[in-house]
């Protein structure tokens, strides 16, 4: 079955169990919107700004698909050309510039795998206009296996023992929690540890909500936008 790159994108998004996407139409992605209009089952929410789309999508799946000028124009300062791969490299877990439509399906599958596994994070896939329009025989990609990416989900028990020893020796310990506690659904464990050891808790911006803000052990958030807190000696 021959499909365009835009149709392959829609098919792979649906195959990953995504039922809602957020977007903002424009010339570089108009072919994706043409494919969206001809399908059922994938709900599109129109935003008023690209940044709004990213913030909204962050609550669903951290994979961003962007439109790009045709591959033959990349690097020529073409109209609406943006080095989005370079721009987002510091703030994404990984990103791709698709140059071969035959690799599109496997790249999308790999992008979702990276975004959801290990330490979850945003992944960006940049789609040149000619890749969106290219038509090939679609073939379901095989299961993802990356030799250089093998997330470890089990803690080092020897390191855990060192942590326990250090906490026991500390005179005024403080728990500084981040977004990882929320991602790993460990808020209840954190709360139990803090209360059992009577250790005050603070958090980064991404860690807010991991510990009850009404608890006497809560110090508030640190940093420039944090709050002053008195803690008795």
Domain assignment present for residue 232? The answer is no
pTM: 0.82
The first and second tokens of residue 71, run together, are 């591959």
Range of the domain at 170: 157-221
138-178 pLDDT tens trace = 988 988 888 889 888 888 888 989 999 999 999 999 999 99
Domain assignment present for residue 28? The answer is yes
pLDDT score of 80 more than 90 = no
Residue 112: CATH number of its domain: 3.40.50.970
The lowest-confidence range among 36-45, 67-76, 139-148, 220-229 is 220-229
Do both 129 and 164 map to the same domain?
no
Q: Which of 107, 137, 167 is the last residue of a domain?
A: 137
Instruction: Give 226's contacts (C-beta < 8 A, 6+ positions apart).
Output: 202, 220
Do both 56 and 163 map to the same domain?
no
Instruction: Give 173's contacts (C-beta < 8 A, 6+ positions apart).
Output: 167, 197, 199
Do both 56 and 121 map to the same domain?
yes
Maximal CA-CA distance, the chain = 72
Number of domain units in the chain: 2
172-206 pLDDT tens trace = 999 999 989 998 899 999 999 999 999 999 999 88
Domain assignment present for residue 146? The answer is no
Residue 185: CATH number of its domain: 3.40.50.1220
Which pLDDT band holds residue 224 (cuts at 50, 70, 90)? Answer: confident
Do both 18 and 129 map to the same domain?
yes
Q: What pLDDT does 230 receive?
A: 57
């Amino acid at each position: 079955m021959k499909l365009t790159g835009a149709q392959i994108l829609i098919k792979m998004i649906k195959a990953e169990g995504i039922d809602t996407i957020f977007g903002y139409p424009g010339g570089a992605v108009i072919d994706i919107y043409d494919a969206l209009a001809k399908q059922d089952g994938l709900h599109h929410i129109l935003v008023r700004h690209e940044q709004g789309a990213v913030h909204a999508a962050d609550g669903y799946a951290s994979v961003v698909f962007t439109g790009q000028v045709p591959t033959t124009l990349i690097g020529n300062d073409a109209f609406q050309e943006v080095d989005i791969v370079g721009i987002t490299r510091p703030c994404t877990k990984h990103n791709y510039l698709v140059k071969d439509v035959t690799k599109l399906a496997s790249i999308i599958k790999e992008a979702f795998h990276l975004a959801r596994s290990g330490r979850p994070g945003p992944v960006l896939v940049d789609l040149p206009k000619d890749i969106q329009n290219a038509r090939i025989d679609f073939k379901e990609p095989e299961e993802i296996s990356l030799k250089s990416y093998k997330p470890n989900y089990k803690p080092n028990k020897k390191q855990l023992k060192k942590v326990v020893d250090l906490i026991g020796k500390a005179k005024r310990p403080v728990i500084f929690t981040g977004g990882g506690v929320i991602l790993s659904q460990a808020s209840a464990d954190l709360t139990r540890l803090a209360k059992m050891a009577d250790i005050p808790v603070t958090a980064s911006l991404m860690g807010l909500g991991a510990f009850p803000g009404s608890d006497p052990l809560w110090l508030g958030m640190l940093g420039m936008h944090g709050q002053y807190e008195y803690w008795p000696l």
